[in-house]
Structure 1
């Protein structure tokens, strides 16, 4: 089984840096394979708690190299919840890559473990008779300190449901649980790694330490 690793995060940073510089990213140094994956960007300023700046991925298996290249940019620039990440934010970013594994169908909406499982919910919106779905990665509920019900309700809102959440509606949810491996790296560690392995630190026009 392929696990998330440092080279995958380096490739995501390389891809974003290359985008700002209008260049091609260096070829990645991890093996190709096909897995569901996510790329998450967070930003920490003045030593504060890192805040989410973008998180997008795919629940379907994708070629890892193309997948990380595409979602590194999509999550940084096209997450509709946030403005696009600007080059000047780079020194404050951390990147997490996730590879999803072990998909299982839950027996009911609370058939999963906080901190172990990510969850996908699917349900029919009773107000519009439309199908809705959304996912949280395994680390989200634990990081937020949610109960299972709080996580489910938050996920229903994320899916776009604005009506009243009732227990009977929760019971009609189809839940899929999964696990993941992940690897996180801050930009400063990425820059040090690049300098060590390539002999020159990454340089981006407009990305100067000291800008927020």
Structure 2
């Protein structure tokens, strides 16, 4: 089984730096393969705990190299919840890559474990008779300190449901659970890695080092 690793995060940073420099990223130092994946950017402000700055991925299997290339940029620049990440923010960024595995159809909306499973919910919005879906990665509910019910209710809002959330509404959910491996790296560690392996630190054209 393929696991998330350092070289995948390096490639995401390389991809973003190359985008700012209008050039091609160096070739990745990991093998290709097909898996569902996510790229998450967080930003540390004034030495505090890093806060989400962008997170986009795919629940469908993608070739890893093209997938990380696409989602490194999509999550940094095109997450509609946030303005695009600017080059000056790079020093305060950290990046996490997730590779998703072990998809299972749950028996009900509570058939999963906080901290172990990511969840995908699918349900019909009774007010509009439309299908809605959303996902949280395995680390989200644990990081937020949520119970299963709190995570489900938050995820229903994320999916766009604005009605009253009742137990009968929750019971209509079709839930898929999954697991993931992830690797997180701060920009400063990325710079150290590049210096060690390539002999020079990464730089952005027109910006201070």
* TM-score (norm. length: structure 2): 0.99
Q: Which segments of structure 1 move beyond 4 Å, counting only runs of 4 or more?
A: none
Q: How does 1:107-122 map to 2 (within 5 A)?
A: 107-122=107-122
Q: What is the distance in 2 between the residues matched to 1:152 and 1:195?
A: 44
Q: How does 1:87-166 map to 2 (within 5 A)?
A: 87-166=87-166
Aligned to 2:68: 68
> Secondary structure, in 3 states, of the residue corresponding to 1:23?
coil
Aligned to 1:46: 46
Q: What is the distance in 2 between the residues matched to 1:32 and 1:55?
A: 22
How far the C-alpha of 1:46 sits from its partner, in A, is: 1.9
Taking a change above 3 Å as real, the CA distance of residues 172 and 71 of structure 1, as seen in their structure-2 partners, is same
Q: Any conservation in 2 of the 1:87–1:206 contact (CA below 8 Å)?
A: no
How far the C-alpha of 1:47 sits from its partner, in A, is: 1.0
Larger mean CA deviation between 138-147 and 198-207 belongs to: 198-207
Larger mean CA deviation between 45-54 and 55-64 belongs to: 45-54
Q: What is the distance in 2 between the residues matched to 1:67 and 1:56?
A: 11
Q: What is the distance in 1 between the residues matched to 2:74 and 2:139?
A: 21
> Secondary structure, in 3 states, of the residue corresponding to 1:62?
strand
Q: What is the distance in 1 between the residues matched to 2:97 and 2:196?
A: 22
Q: What is the distance in 2 between the residues matched to 1:208 and 1:163?
A: 49
Q: Any conservation in 2 of the 1:123–1:132 contact (CA below 8 Å)?
A: yes
Taking a change above 3 Å as real, the CA distance of residues 119 and 199 of structure 1, as seen in their structure-2 partners, is same
> Secondary structure, in 3 states, of the residue corresponding to 1:183?
strand
How far the C-alpha of 1:207 sits from its partner, in A, is: 4.7
Q: What is the distance in 2 between the residues matched to 1:192 and 1:69?
A: 21
Q: Which runs of 5+ in 2 are unaligned?
A: none
Q: Which runs of 5+ in 1 are unaligned?
A: none
Aligned to 2:13: 13
How far the C-alpha of 1:112 sits from its partner, in A, is: 0.2
Aligned to 1:174: 174
Q: Any conservation in 2 of the 1:91–1:207 contact (CA below 8 Å)?
A: no
Q: How many equivalent residue pairs? A: 209
CA-to-partner distance for each residue in 1:72-122, whole Å, 9 max, x for gaps? 000000000000000000000000000000000000000000000000000
